[in-house]
Chains A and B, each alone.
Chain A
């Protein structure tokens, strides 16, 4: 059944896969570090980008790591139709730039597969190209990692490395056209101004990207605003890529240079084990040869129950309104179902279409627990190709990506 792996895109099929060099499969357990001191004011508008901090974030955000800065959002705080900045997850790979001046920001376009190198200021981006606003989901490839057994190394994301804000910017394909994309273009890679954790100013913490086909989609953006506010440094301001439906790492932050490559991009975290899964499914805990790993492209179908909050105690005889969001990487969600009997029976939920392609979809239903007791509500989305969320943790992989097991919340109905 796993011949066609949902996590592997087909658009780069036939291209030589980059072989990776190292392997360090690690086991991990989730260590939750709740930060209760995050309440703060919004950011004032200044000439310089304010520093990348969690100031202004919802106090319920869970910090997984301060250095690099990584924080996720509990499911009940993701209830908004459009994810506000205060509830958007954070995943840095290095150290965010300090004090960038948007007025002096330039974007360089280069690489083997452009006709000419081009430099553009932010003002030129705004004035030269058609400006678009789209709601696009971003999900970390490692969202759900904490459930894999044996555990994988890295931040132990539970369910909260997902968000769907509204982005304003320009289409990447319009910008790339200024440099002239040659017929031999294969991949677009980004470079940002974040610095490596090791302190070496020349070291690049992460430089990933996506196939040229993804770059040419109408929804792939260079964005300078999130929810009609200037893009905060913590989310990649002043300028970032947004490649909705791909692992979040494809959507480079603090982007200062784009390279159109005539091969699969080979920047840090494109090679190695990062953001790759076994091309063919493997048994949990297997050692996987580098040549058997493939780059993740589309994320798999997934959903969240965002209301009620897990842990509810309900009076008997009262129906309960349940709602959330569903998304499916590069696909759309076709149907949504919920179960209150551990998957023995499923009831369809009402499902909205996306506001635009690659935006999450809202769903809702009403459940009626038959009597007192302990219940779990399970939510299962099915995408437009017929793939549905599994009930248990799906294909084990060394780095713990692509866990799209159904979301569960617990409640008790009083006697």
Chain B
């Protein structure tokens, strides 16, 4: 499947799908699960690490496991974890581009004539 370049550029800049409301403080998409993510995921690091990441649910789960097993994060309550993973997988799911190398981003291109 071909993915339009413009979509890729938007994803790079916003870290999320276009048209979604974002929280001005954290830059995170405001959607179901947002409050739990802010509470549990920004205690140690800021939200930019979330916004920069695009991953499948299982990969998000692997990252949470790494934080609890290696980085001493308090394990999440099962229900909270489900909500957090739902939020992350839904709003920060994988990029779908299969390019071997992306084109230069818009901010490095000469202005349109």
Contacts and interface: CB of A to CB of B under 8 A. Distances in A.
Given A22-B65, A28-B52, A28-B54, A198 B109 contact: no
B12 A30 contact: yes
Interface stretch (A51-59, A330-338, A362-370, A405-413): A405-413
B48 A64 contact: yes
B54 A29 contact: yes
A386 interface: no
Given A147-B102, A155-B49, A197-B45, A29 B110 contact: no
Interface in B1-49: 11-15, 27, 44-46, 48-49
B73 A27 contact: no
B48 A66 contact: yes
Interface in A9-31: 21-31
A409 to B, nearest CB: 7
Contact of A31 (B51, B66, B69, B104): B51
A146 B15 CA distance: 12
Describe A's contact surface by its main secondary structure.
loop
A151 B56 CA distance: 11
Interface residues of B, number: 43
**Most chain-B CB neighbours within 10 Å: which of A66, A147, A198, A414?**
A198
A156 B102 CA distance: 14
Contacts of B73: 198
Contacts of B71: 196-198, 203
A129 interface: no
Given A22-B66, A24-B59, A149-B99, A198 B110 contact: no
A37 to B, nearest CB: 16
Interface residues of A, number: 51
A68 B56 CA distance: 24
A414 B110 CA distance: 11
B100 A392 contact: yes
B30 to A, nearest CB: 16
A65 B48 contact: yes
A311 B62 CA distance: 39
Interface string B100-113: 11101001111101
B46 A66 contact: yes
Contacts of A32: 12-13
B98 to A, nearest CB: 6
Given A26-B59, A393-B100, A311 B108 contact: yes
A22 B70 contact: yes
Contacts of B51: 31
B53 A26 contact: yes
Interface in B67-103: 69-73, 94-95, 97-102
B60 A410 contact: no
A312 interface: yes
A198 B65 contact: no
Given A200-B72, A408-B104, A67 B52 contact: no
A68 B45 CA distance: 6
A180 interface: no
B52 A155 contact: yes
Nearest to B15: A31
A287 B16 CA distance: 25
Given A31-B51, A155-B52, A410 B109 contact: yes
Contacts of B101: 147, 391-393, 405
B74 to A, nearest CB: 9
Contacts of A408: 104
Contacts of B108: 310-311, 409-410
Contact of A412 (B49, B63, B113): B113
A150 B94 contact: yes
Nearest to B108: A310
A324 B63 CA distance: 38
Q: Which 10 A-B pairs have the closest CB atoms?
A: A31-B15, A24-B62, A412-B110, A310-B108, A197-B44, A31-B51, A28-B53, A26-B55, A392-B100, A27-B94
23 contacts: A25-B59, A26-B53, A26-B55, A26-B59, A27-B55, A28-B52, A28-B53, A29-B12, A29-B52, A30-B15, A31-B12, A33-B48, A149-B100, A150-B94, A151-B94, A153-B59, A154-B52, A156-B52, A196-B72, A197-B45, A198-B44, A272-B70, A310-B108
Given A27-B55, A147-B102, A149-B102, 14 more contacts: A22-B62, A23-B62, A24-B63, A26-B62, A27-B54, A29-B52, A31-B13, A65-B48, A150-B95, A154-B49, A154-B52, A310-B108, A391-B101, A393-B101
